[in-house]
Structure 1
Amino acid sequence: MSRTPVPALLLIAHGSRDPRHAATVAALVREVRAQRPALEVATAYLDHCAPRIPQVAARLTDAVAVPLLLNRAFHAKHDIPAALRATGAALPVADVLGPSPLLLAALDRRLAEAGLDVRSAAVRSRTGVVLAAAGSSDPAADAATRAVAATWRRTRGWAAVEVAYASAAGPRVPDALAALRTAGATRTAVAPYLLAPGLLPDRIAAAAEDADLLADVLGPAPELATLLLERYDRARLAAEALPAEALTA
């Protein structure tokens, strides 16, 4: 008996002029394929990189679009839906990645790789962490990042977690590091809440020179690949539950 084909996963990334961005997205796609080898995975970019959304969406007859975005800000609310509408492709679109316990696990992984003993409750209780995000003009997106920081502190028992932004409004990384020390942290770490290398991660790294430890971006962490597949599955199942007329409306 033949199986019904499942939709492809169309991963939509922002894109960057920095070649490290596309290389990181490609590595993440390899991790997704390793976790689910039978699934077709395609990649498209909003800007800067090729292929763009129209080039890829036009050749996919059945797919679920999964945004490679941490927060539901302008790209998720406007740019991606508009780009898909312009192609004439009525694809289901999955939710953004955050918030999720898997993102916190990926942040833990990067801190551990940078040399922090994240398994030690005593170490965590003395360590203050800067969750360094891109920043957004959308207040809801920044509120979501602050909620991630609060959850991370509560569930891990950090001495403190402060949010800093690489763009838009402050606070900046040095401000957040100062706040951590005021809160009593005896060791400080900066954890970029960003998906791939580029201008903003470089800006965060340069501003983190006074921190005891700097973690890498989330990149192709296995937790991130698992989360992409979770978002894909949820959107696919939701689309399958819709009546046929709703799909063509």
Structure 2
Amino acid sequence: MKALLFICHGTRLKKGRIEAEEFVKLCMSQVDVSIKEICFLELAEPSITKGFEACIQKGATSISVIPVFLLSANHIKTDIPKKLHHLKNQYPGIEVIYGRPFGVHEAIPHLLWEKIMNSAVNLKKNTHILLVGRGSSDQDVKRDLEKIASNVQKHYGIPSIQACFLTGSEPSVEEALWSNRYLHDQIIIVPYLLFSGLLINGMKLTINRYQQLSETSVTLCETLGYHPILKEVLLTRINETLETKRYAFS
């Protein structure tokens, strides 16, 4: 019997955890698989182990694992596979198929443009947009976010857009803000994050410090959240994982 196990990142903030669960449940309701569980990599419960074992207790013999993550960083390449290998060894009779994160998807630029348009500011000729990712030491994350920024620019003719990061990669948000201090009258920050969390709070503090010393207008857009485009991207990843064994653990 097939099962779907959704792995979210996790956060200490209850609001962020609830947002993640509600978003995944919305997608789960549109998938015809009888066993569906949600778990978290860290900072929240249930853990991956508990989610995996819940699938087995309900009769699963094949578990398709869906990482609800934006980009392929170390969590996707190392942390989750390590945990799944351990569980596979514990339950050798269970087939485990590992799906893909959202990644560089052609629909994402339209979502980001909508966030920019909903920021309640009028774009100027010298507006600069910062697309802010979580960041990672994995260079694929930097490459992918820069590719997404480039796709937004191509689709909508934005004159100036830059990928930057909260941690682990350069440039940081702070570096990007100060390096553009005298170049632009307006900066719009688009967080490339799924849900609310401590990272957003830290970003707000950075913006407040910057605006105390600069006359440049800075606007912070909302996180990606429950958007229908993200739902469709996740449903695409679910269906491709159910239909293929390219990512199966042997």
Determine if the TM-score, normalized by the shorter chain, exceeds 0.5.
yes
Q: How does 1:1-249 map to 2 (within 5 A)?
A: 7-33=2-28, 36=30, 38-39=32-33, 41-60=36-55, 61=60, 62-88=62-88, 89-116=94-121, 123=123, 126-180=126-180, 185-209=184-208, 210=211, 211-239=217-245, 249=250
TM-score, structure 2 as length reference: 0.81
Q: TM-score, normalised by structure 1?
A: 0.81
Report the Cα distance in structure 2 between the residues aligned to 1:32 and 1:124, rounded to whole angstroms.
37
Structure 2 residues without counterparts, runs of 5 or longer? 89-93, 212-216
**Preserved contact between residue 142 and residue 169 of structure 2 (Cα < 8 Å):** no
Aligned partner of 2:91 in structure 1 is none
2:72 & 2:249 partners in 1: Cα distance?
25
Aligned residues: 232
Q: Quickly say closer, same or farther: Cα 1:39–1:125, change in 2 above 3 A.
A: farther
Could you tell me how far apart the structure 2 residues matched to 1:203 and 1:43 are? 27
- Assess if the C-alpha contact under 8 Å between 2:112 and 2:152 holds in 1: no
Rounded to whole Å, the distance in 1 between the matches of 2:81 and 2:38 is 16
Give, in angstroms, the shift of residue 137 of structure 1.
0.9
Show the counterpart of 1:120: none
Q: Percent identity?
A: 22
Deviation at 1:124, TM superposition (A): 7.3
Shift in Å at residue 131 of structure 1? 0.4
RMSD across aligned positions (CA) = 2.6
Distance 2:68 2:181 in 1: 33
| Long gaps (5+) in structure 1 | 118-122
SS of alignment partner, residue 164 of structure 1: strand
Q: Deviations 1:132-171 (Å, cap 9, x if unpaired)?
A: 1111111222122112112211221112111221112432
